[in-house]
Amino acid sequence: MKMDNSLLEDVNTQINREFYAAYLYFAMATYFAEINMEGFAKLTKNHAKEELEHAKKLYDYLILRDEKVSLSRIEAPDTNWTNPIDAINAALDHEKFVTENIHRIYKNSKEKCDCALEVFMQWFVAEQVEEEHLFQSMLDKMNYVQECSCEIVNIDRELRIQNEYVE
C-alpha cells in the first residue's frame, strides 16, 4: 500500500530530525571534551550514534515500503552552552521536541488508516520515553548538586565508567 503523501513527508522530515539530533549530540560531545568532562562526552557521543540508528531505521522503513527517501539539509546546532547543566537541559528540550513530532506522526498514521506505519511508529513512541527519562534523570541529579561542582565531577566519573565499553 502506498503511503499518503503527508505521511511520507512526515517520515522524511523525521529522518532529518534524527540526523540533526546526531549532529547536536556530537556537538555536545565536543563541548564536554573541551571542558574535560570525559564521562558526559562519552555519553553524548554514544547517544549521537543512537540517533544515527534512529535515522537509519526510518530510512530503511521507507525503502521497505518502496517510498522515496528525501534527504534535506541538516541545520547547524546552537552550541552556546554556558555550563554542563545548560547543555543537558538543551538535550532534554530537544528530546521533548522529538517526542511531540513522533506522537504527531503516530496520530496521523492512525487518522490516515496506515496500520503498518502506526505499528512501526510504536517503537519510536516507546523509545522516546527512555530518551526523555535518560536526560530528565541526569538533569535532576545535576540540579540537586549544582551548588557543588565537585559532585558534577563525580557524576562525570560515573558516566565515564558506564559508557566506557559502549562503542
Q: Which residues bind ligand FEO (CB under 6 A)?
A: 18, 21, 51, 54, 95, 98, 131
Task: Give least dist CB 113 to ligand FEO, A.
Answer: 26
Task: Give least dist CB 85 to ligand FEO, A.
Answer: 19
**What is the DSSP track for 127-166?**
HHHHHHHHHHHHHHHHHHTTT-HHHHHHHHHHHHHHTTT-
Give CA–CA dist 142/139, Å, rounded.
5
CA–CA distance from 159 to each of 37, 120, 150, 166 (Å)? 10, 32, 14, 11
Task: Give least dist CB 116 to ligand FEO, A.
Answer: 20
CA–CA distance from 128 to each of 100, 103, 139, 147 (Å)? 10, 10, 16, 30
Residue type for position 106: Y
Of 101 and 145, which CB lies nearer to ligand FEO in the complex structure? 101
Task: Give least dist CB 130 to ligand FEO, A.
Answer: 9
Residue 92 near residue 56, CB atoms below 8 Å: no
Task: Give least dist CB 126 to ligand FEO, A.
Answer: 12
CA–CA distance from 33 to each of 26, 38, 45, 67, 86 (Å)? 10, 6, 10, 40, 15
The residue nearest ligand FEO at its CB is: 54
